[in-house]
Amino acid sequence: MKELVLASHNAGKLRELQALLGDSVVIRSISEFTDIEPEETGLSFIENAILKARNACQVSGLPALADDSGLTVDYLQGAPGIYSARYSATGGDAGNNQKLLSALQGVPDQQRGAQFICVLALLQHANDPLPIICQGRWQGRILHAAQGEHGFGYDPLFYVAEQQCSSAELPSTLKNQLSHRAQAMQLLKQQLSL
């Protein structure tokens, strides 16, 4: 496999995954084929990743890689979870971050545990009965205020204890070694023998 389509319109995710995968495979954006996003009707990261990959195979005719990822916060019983990207309904990253900070108002550090979760699903074709599924989990906690300028999504609020900074303060090369997406991609590369 030399080329595949990423089932996401998120340019940050495309850059991150291409950097993780390296030059052995060219990742094309679903944006080249359609502007329509499939409805994420699954109740888990795995279900939604498969839905997105299957749709991308159908519209592109290429093997497809889908990433369904998000933030789960212990105090919020796993929320925002699969709804991470649309947690605030409006306002994008800034709105999502503000809603999360409001939900955790007054909650002490020891109860602010969180995980970034990533599920990658790779389908060879639209009717692939055996998708490759790889999962990554990055442990951290939610800060009381945003820190850092890099990354996207919840990165400015996600504190990485081993590095003593937020995910948004990490150089991209280091983030691409530690993150939930990096962990899932490493497993995928092993599966594909890359």
pLDDT tens track for 111-154: 999 999 999 999 999 999 999 999 999 999 999 999 999 888 99
Give the pLDDT score at 194.
63
Higher pLDDT, 17 or 179: 179
Taking Cα atoms as reference points, which of 78, 84, 87, 146 lies closest to residue 113?
Answer: 78
Catalytic, 155? Answer no
Q: Which domain does 58 fall in, by range?
A: 3-192
Domain total in the chain? 1
pLDDT tens, residue by residue, 56-112: 999 999 999 999 999 999 999 999 999 998 999 887 999 999 999 999 999 999 999
CB-based contact 131:121 (threshold 8 Å): yes
- Catalytic site residue from 67, 68, 93, 155: 68
CB-based contact 43:66 (threshold 8 Å): no
Left (φ > 0), alpha (ψ -120 to 50) or beta: where does 22 sit? left
Give me the CATH number covering residue 79: 3.90.950.10
